[in-house]
Amino acid sequence: MSNFADRKSPMGRSLRHLWRLVALLAFAVTFDDAVPSQQDSWAEPRAAMVRTIQTHAAFLPEAAGTDGISTTVLDVIGKVPRHQFVPEGVEGQAYADAPLPIGYGQTISQPFIVALMTHLIRTSPDSTVLEIGTGSGYQAAVLSPLVKAVCTIEIVPGLGETAIRRLKELRYDNVQTKVGDGYFGWPECGPFDGILVTAAAGHVPPPLVKQLKPGGRMLVPVGSVFGPQFLTLVEKTRGGQITTRQLLPVSFVPLTRESR
C-alpha cells in the first residue's frame, strides 16, 4: 500500500519538491522585506539633494529668474539615479550637491546647475535638445523624460563610450550619443528647440546658433578657464534675431577642440 507521503513513490517526491519550492519562495519574500532594496537606500539622500537645490534656487540672481526651478524638473532630478553616473567608489558622495570627478580630468556637473539649465531651456514633450559635453551622461538622463529626443556629443572617446553603454543599460532610449567635437553641433540630429553647452567656451559657437530653431533657447557658459565665466542665454526669436544675456557667474571645465 502506498500513500502521498511515501518517500519512494513518484507522487511523494513531487510533493516534497513542491514543499521545498514553497519554503524557498517564502524565504525569498521574507528576506526581500527585511532588507531594503539598493534603490530604496538612495531615495532619502536623493530627496535631500532636491531640497538643497530648492534652497539654492531661492537665492538666484534676478537675471536667472525669480520663479525658482519647476517642480517638473525637480521631480525628474528626484528620480534619476546619479549614483549610477559616478565612478565606482564615489557613489557615497553622489547625492551631495557638488561636481564630482569622472576621470580624464572632467567632472559630472553640480546637480543644482543641471536642474537650473534644464529649467531655463524650457523643455516640452515634443522638443529636441542638443547637449555639448556628455561627460557621465547624467544631464542627458535628466533631459530624457522631459523631451522627445536628446542628442549629446562628447569629445573624450573613453567618456563618450562609457556614457553610451550606461544610458543604454538604464533605458534612456531617446538619447543619441556621439563622440566628436561639439563646437560644430549635430545638424543631422537638429534643428534644436534647446541647446545646453556644459563646458565653458571662449565665445558662443556660431554653428550652434545656426542649428537653433526660431523660438529656441541655448545656454552656454562663456569665459576662460581661469577668468570669470557667465552662464549665457542665447535666444533666437521667431523672426530669427539673436539676443544674448548673461545670467550668473559659473565655473565649468573648458570646451576643448579636436586637433584637426
CA distance 254 to 106: 9
Q: Is 132 among the residues that bind ligand SAH (CB under 6 A)? A: yes
Candidate segments 18-26, 185-193, 206-214, 251-259, binder of ligand SAH by CB under 6 A: 251-259
Active site residue: 109, 127, 136, 144, which one? 109
Minimum CB–partner distance for residue 177 and ligand SAH (Å):
11
- Residues 23 and 130: their CA atoms lie apart, in Å, by 53
Task: In angstroms, give the least distance from the CB of 240 to ligand SAH.
Answer: 26
Give the residue with the Cβ less far from ligand SAH, 182 or 216: 182
Question: At a CB cut-off of 8 Å and minimum separation 6, what does 201 contact?
Answer: 183, 220, 221, 222, 255
Distance of CA 65 to the CA centre of its chain: 22
- Least Cα distance to 142 among 90, 191, 75, 89 occurs for 75
Q: What is the grid cell recorded at 143? A: 533631459
Q: Is 121 in the site for ligand SAH (CB under 6 A)?
A: no
The set of residues, in sequence order, having a beta carbon less than 8 Å from that of 188 and lying 6+ positions away, is none
Exactly one of 155, 189, 218, 231 binds ligand SAH (CB under 6 A); that residue is 155
222 touches ligand SAH (CB under 6 A): no
Q: CB of residue 207 vs ligand SAH: minimum separation in angstroms?
A: 11
Cell numbers standing for residue 86 = 559616478
Q: Active site includes 41? A: no
Is residue 136 a contact residue for ligand SAH (CB under 6 A)?
Answer: yes
Write each residue from 93 to 112 as x if it is in contact with ligand SAH (CB under 6 A), else as -, in one continuous string. -------------xxxx---
Residue 124 · residue 118 · CB < 8 Å? no
Position 198 contacts ligand SAH (CB under 6 A): yes
Closest CB to ligand SAH among 154 and 193?
A: 154
Q: Which is nearer to ligand SAH, 208 or 247 (CB)?
A: 208
Site for ligand SAH (CB under 6 A): which residue of 123, 127, 128, 139? 139
CB 134 within 8 A of CB 163: yes
Cell 545670467 belongs to: 247
The single-letter code of the amino acid at 201 is A
Peptide bond into 191 cis (omega under 30): yes
Question: What are the residues binding ligand SAH (CB under 6 A)?
Answer: 106-109, 132-133, 135-136, 138-139, 153-156, 159, 181-183, 198-199, 253, 255-257
Residues belonging to the active site: 109
